[in-house]
Amino acid sequence: MVDRVPFVDGGFSEFVRSLPKPPSLRRADDPLRAGSLLTCGQAVALYRVQVESRHVDLGARNLKKENKAFYTIGSSGHEGNAAVAAALRPTDPAFLHYRSGGFFLERAAQLGREDGAYAMLLGIVASSDEPIAGGRHKVFGHSEMAIPPQTSTIASHLPKAVGMAFGIGRAARLGLGTSSPADAIVVCTFGDASINHSTAQGAINAANWAAAQGQPVPVLFVCEDNGIGISVQTPHGWVHAANAARGGMLYAACDGLDLDQTFTVASELAERVRIERRPAMLHMRTVRLLGHAGSDNETVYRSLDEIEATEALDPLRTGARLLVECGAASPDQLLAMYEAERGRVHDLGRLASTRPKLTTAADVLKPLAPRDADAIAQEASRLGSEEERRRFWGDKLPEEQRPAGFAQHVNWALGDLLSLYPEAFLFGEDVAKKGGVYGVTRELVRRAKRGRVFDTLLDEQTILGLAIGFGHLGLLPFPEIQYLAYLHNAEDQLRGEAASLQFFSNGQYQNPMVVRIAGYGYQKGFGGHFHNDNSVSVLRDIPGLVIASPARGDDAAAQLRTCAAAARTGGSVCVFLEPIALYGERDLHAKGDGLWTAAYAPASPESHVAIGKGRVWRDGEHLTLVSWANGLWMSLRVAEKLEREHGIRCRVFDLRWLAPLPEAELLLHAQHTGRVLVVDETRKSGGVSEAILTALVDGGFEGKMRRVTSEDAFIPLGDAANLVLLQEEAIEAAALELSRGR
Ligand SMILES: Cc1ncc(C[n+]2csc(CCOP(=O)(O)OP(=O)(O)O)c2C)c(N)n1
Ligand SMILES: [Mg+2]
């Protein structure tokens, strides 16, 4: 593999030495050239940051050779992004591309910080001293620089950038304070290949869609276009052709090899975004030097001629030529600066490599999803003032209404939460005017203050991105995903982004949210797979995620409040699964028995349900049925029948939470009868029962265990659904077998 570092590094010095000396040097406060927004002094300072960024890249490669560094994706060739940072305010939230090192360092410099390069180097060596991720990843981020951390999933930060921009606008209209100034703009940077990703396309589209309706969306998309994504070339002119005239988005192109022009164009565009509160795209030309990463052998897909031609466009060379031609600096001064930065960064790299690393699993896990049960209990028990609630609900409060089913309880709890938290927002497809496809959110748009309950466009990635952005701002979002099946095309926003934020920011950033998802099977007379999805394993394996899965209205209301309280007090990311088939169910054993309704119990210490706390519905000594959601409803019916017809008495235990599972209680109730039947309406493979049985084994349970589940299938339309979904007959048969000792 050819190492191009000597050519880029040595080639730079050679190039600068060859520049003709300027006849005289200009003063620091002279404009760099006629019409420049930058003075000579500012241009030189900006250039120094670019040089610093380059030396961090070179330093990373040196440290890698000694096995002291773990990350060599650099910013070489992209240093023009320092001029974009200079055009913004340091309080403008920035979601950065992995080549935006210049941006990061310039923002540090703007704030008078001298530790920008050191922070990057600490990340490169994965030290626990690193200021954003604490050694968990090499990301650009800093809580004092308004730079939240990014994951490596390209483009996945764009939806949250749009969400944050939208949230800033919405909060400003409602007079709510947030973590960002009301006139902030949000910037996100990304590559030319990344722009093709559906996540990027969805985010850009969403910003334009909102802006087209006059909604403020002050987001600046910055495409750092080096013409290539790893080895795949971007068609010439593609970024321009696909974005220059798109929706109402402003668009401007700049040459990242010219720091002066980039600063001017970026400043003018940023100013328009700030004033007009409209989305804009800055298309910045860059080059990629030193390959995609240290391990990338560019010669496999690029000719040496091409590589050399690209190196000749090194922005440090073009920048040096500009400064020298304008008389802002002499070649000798620039060479001296280059070597001084090399030495300084080298020393910082050495120092960084001696700093501590994460040494225990407990340390790694610490910021993942902190939860304080007492704080949650206290917060979840808090009820808004009666006056406020009466203003929200009108004459009759929910507790003064007749007992009701699941959907109504969710509606009541959501209403109470909207009235309790002025910073709460409820949004999703069809949630506002229509009140949700099943009417769960009906009337809330009318009752809540304008703009707090709103319909989004049809894109689940955007819905979750909005929630993440709102969460960053300190707001409390309740996004709705219309059906579980449609979470799957957006789940990375939950898995890769939302759930990982506290982890990769060492607890410094939070994106609290309660994602309501309508799901599970058994919808009578409606459905097919996409409306009857029972696959939850994709949620269960997200570290730290809280999954509530209530079965009856009283639990639904209490658990929703618990989720909101966990989000509010600890930044928890919570998923609230709603069994569609039970939305309107009123009865349990017989038509008209009303046993699946409940009176509304408003927030109080008595009505609080802690995270991971299950519920015993029925006692018995012969057999323990373990279930949740529709499975619980069926289990209770079967238990009744078993007792009536066979004298078999079952204890029925409702998990209520699928993550974390109530493992200790589970064991206790299993031991009580010594026989456990897990009634799992999800899949046989990857379904929840796998975890339940494992928990019993891990807990040392030595009794008899069985499970009944649905089939590993997509759910067909009509009555055929019941051929693959778990049925009461199967539960009964298994229960009989188990209780007879087989
Ligand atoms: C969703 C996703 N798919 C694939 C990758 C692997 N990957 C990392 S960088 C990259 C190319 C990105 O190219 P571009 O956006 O042009 O950025 P550049 O590296 O050129 O600055 C790919 C495919 C990834 N990180 N995320
Ligand atoms: Mg690229």
- 199-228: per-residue pLDDT in tens? 999 999 999 999 999 999 999 999 999 999
94, two tokens: 């920035």
pLDDT the model gives residue 741: 75
Ligand 1 binding pocket includes 359 (Cβ within 6 Å): no
Range of weakest confidence among 21-25, 408-412, 671-675: 21-25
Q: Is the pLDDT at 528 greater than 80, yes or no?
A: no
Q: End-to-end alpha-carbon separation of the chain, Å?
A: 65
Of all ligands present, the nearest one to the C-alpha of 195 is 1
Ligand 1 nearest atom to the CA of residue 197, by list position: 1
Q: Whose CA is nearest to atom 25 of ligand 1?
A: 153
- Whether 99 is in the pocket of ligand 1, judged by its Cβ within 6 Å, is yes
- Cβ(154) to ligand 1 under 6 A? yes
CA distance 644 to 681: 24
For ligand 1, what atom is nearest to the CA of residue 234? 16
| pLDDT value, residue 740 | 86
**Which residue among 154, 156, 157 is best mutated to probe the pocket of ligand 1, counting the most ligand atoms within 8 A of its Cβ?**
154
Q: Is 230 in the pocket of ligand 1 (CB under 6 A)?
A: yes
Rounded CA separation 57/102 (Å): 11
* pTM, to two decimals: 0.97
- pLDDT category at 449 given cuts 50, 70, 90 is confident
Helix (H, G, I), strand (E, B) or coil at 510: coil
Our answer on whether the CB atom of 193 is closer than 6 Å to any ligand 1 atom is yes
Ligand having the closest approach to the CA of 193: 1
Residue 154 CA, closest ligand 1 atom number: 26
Answer whether 656 contacts ligand 1 (Cβ < 6 A): no
Rounded to the nearest whole angstrom, what is the distance from the C-alpha of residue 229 to the centroid of ligand 1? 6
3-state secondary structure of 665: helix
Q: What is the dihedral of CA 400, 405, 407, 408, to 10 degrees?
A: -10
Q: Which amino acid makes up residue 723?
A: L
Which neighbouring-strand residues pair with 708?
679
pLDDT on residue 248? 86
- Position in ligand 1 atom list of the atom nearest CA 192: 16
Separation of CA 622 and ligand 1 centre (Å)? 58
Query: Is the beta carbon of 229 within 6 A of some atom in ligand 1?
Result: yes
- Distance of alpha carbon 407 from alpha carbon 529, whole angstroms: 22
pLDDT in the model for residue 424 = 98
Task: Please state the atom number of ligand 1 nearest to the C-alpha of residue 226.
Answer: 20
Dist. CA 116 → ligand 2 center (Å): 24
Distance 587 CA to ligand 2 centre (A): 59
CB within 8 Å of 662: residues ≥ 6 apart: 612, 613, 614, 655, 656
Work out the burial of residue 443: count CB atoms within 10 Å of its CB; fewer than 13 is exposed, 13-18 middle, 19 or more buried. Answer: middle
Chain-centroid distance of CA 421 in Å reads: 22
Which atom, in ligand 1's list, is nearest to the CA of 99?
Answer: 21
Residue 136 CB partners (closer than 8 Å, separation 6+)? 358, 364, 503, 504, 506
Q: What percent of the chain has pLDDT over 70?
A: 100
Model confidence at 102: pLDDT above 90: yes
Q: Is the pLDDT of residue 742 over 70?
A: no
Which of 53, 103, 194, 289, when mutated, tests ligand 1's pocket best, judged by the most ligand atoms within 8 Å of its CB? 194
**Span 55-71, average pLDDT:** 96
Phi, psi of 339 (to 5 degrees): -70, -35
Ligand 1 in contact with 489 (CB < 6 A)?
A: no
Confidence band (pLDDT; 50, 70, 90) for 529?
confident
Residue 228, ligand 1, Cβ within 6 A = yes
- Write the burial class of residue 509 (CB in 10 Å: 0-12 exposed, 13-18 middle, 19+ buried): buried
Q: Which ligand is nearest to the CA of 285?
A: 2
Q: Which ligand is nearest to the CA of 231?
A: 1
Helix 198-211 with 158-174: angle, nearest 10 deg: 20
Q: Is 677 in the pocket of ligand 1 (CB under 6 A)?
A: no
pLDDT, tens digit (0-9, with 9 covering 90-100), for 379-430: 999 999 999 999 999 989 999 999 999 999 999 999 999 999 999 999 999 9
Atom number of ligand 1 nearest to Cα 73: 19
Q: What is the mean pLDDT of residues 675-684?
A: 97
- Which ligand sits closest to the CA of 101? 1
Q: Band of the pLDDT at 279, cuts 50, 70, 90?
A: very high
Share of the chain above pLDDT 90, in %: 95
Å from CA of 227 to ligand 2 middle = 5
Ligand 1 lined by 731 (C-beta under 6 Å): no
pLDDT class of 525 with cuts at 50, 70, 90? low
